[in-house]
A = this chain, B = another copy of it.
């Protein structure tokens, strides 16, 4: 940690600050420049409150040099993490395509969609059984029954299943689920993250509504520090003042997360845009920017979908997109 002092700070005030830091076991290396004095803090500075020091009237600025995240940091783990979900590999040059309806509705629906997306190249099936809805009056999902239907679809197609968990009280129900999704609204539900860190399930961690990349990585860190290293990061759009799309998809998060972390990065163009007709261009954009996979909503009858029909592709649209994705990926790798 590097602390730059303001001009003309008295010797006494400076000594007080150094004493106080000493009391926390921090050694201070003073570097006096022509215009500024800079303190280099040496020792375990993770306990030092940056905001507090910044708020002192003798301090000009504080910079934390060492990274707050460790387990997910590429600096300490340069190789890409590869996660294996029943033989489907994610990360490290492998590309995965997760597709399926927003909500599981009936056996016919989920099985039909599963077969269709598999035929078009998907290698995992998504489908919501527990749905986070802004309103308590909206459809909340089929719950346990929905999970059963997903397993039937897996049985029929062999596709591993990905579905959202909203409370760790439900963990027993998810025992036979392949990938647990943490939704955007729970990205900083730290108690849940700690609990999921004690399982050995792969976790698809969605970026929160307005969270920074550092916060996303710190949430991954919560899971990993509790013992579970199988985390996939997911960009799904952030909140801005955008007037035509539901969210603004932050495509640059994909290469930036790859630089900061060794974890796989998945992109969700369906939630990021909220409009089916924007899904193909944004899916291709995310692929061109280096995503390790996509998660895309597909419904056989979007007009009658119980949830988020507006952003679902029809199976034939997904099929056309899937082919383009393969071509764009090859072109972007050069």
Contact = CB atoms under 8 A, between A and B. Distances in A.
Contact of A66 (B35, B188, B260): B35
A38 B134 CA distance: 27
A213 B134 CA distance: 12
A309 interface: yes
Contacts of A244: 212-214, 256, 260
B276 A55 contact: yes
Interface size band for A: 35 or more
Interface in A267-295: 272-278, 281-282, 284-290
A211 B241 CA distance: 8
A166 interface: yes
Identical chains bound together, number: 4
A172 interface: no
Contact of A35 (B65, B250, B273, B290): B65
A284 B132 contact: no
A33 interface: yes
Contact of A331 (B34, B136, B331): B331
A106 interface: no
Contacts of A327: 331-332, 334
Given A66-B36, A324-B332, A334-B320, A55 B225 contact: no
A240 interface: yes
Interface string A1-39: 010100100000000000010000000010101111010
Interface of A: 2, 4, 7, 20, 29, 31, 33-36, 38, 40, 42-43, 46, 49, 51-52, 54-55, 60-61, 63, 65-66, 68-69, 75, 132-138, 166-169, 185-186, 188-192, 194, 208-215, 218, 221-222, 225-226, 238-246, 248-252, 254-256, 259-260, 272-278, 281-282, 284-290, 302-303, 305, 307-311, 320, 323-324, 327-328, 330-332, 334
